[in-house]
Amino acid sequence: MKNHIRELRKAKGLRQEDLAAALGVSRQTIIAIENNKYNPTLELAMKLARYLHTTVEQLFIPEESP
């Protein structure tokens, strides 16, 4: 699943460490999510959306099936 986390984080002037600390996760978790290596739990996705002032639907883009 693709996402817009990196773009929104940078637009707000946040470092990965800042976002991770605010959400109670590790920096490695933020890196993995931004690089599409890890899909967050629904709870974490909602926290991310809330913190970045957006919706889960706008934050994450499902990959289309062929």
Percentage of the chain lying above the pLDDT 70 cut = 97
Residue pair 4/64 in contact (Cβ under 8 Å)? The answer is no
Residue 65 has pLDDT above 60, yes or no: no
The continuous run of DSSP H or E covering 2 comes out as: strand 2-3
Q: Is the pTM of this model over 0.85?
A: yes
- 3-class secondary structure, 48: helix
Average pLDDT over residues 24-50: 97
Judged by phi (left if over 0) then psi (alpha if -120 to 50, else beta), residue 10 lies in alpha
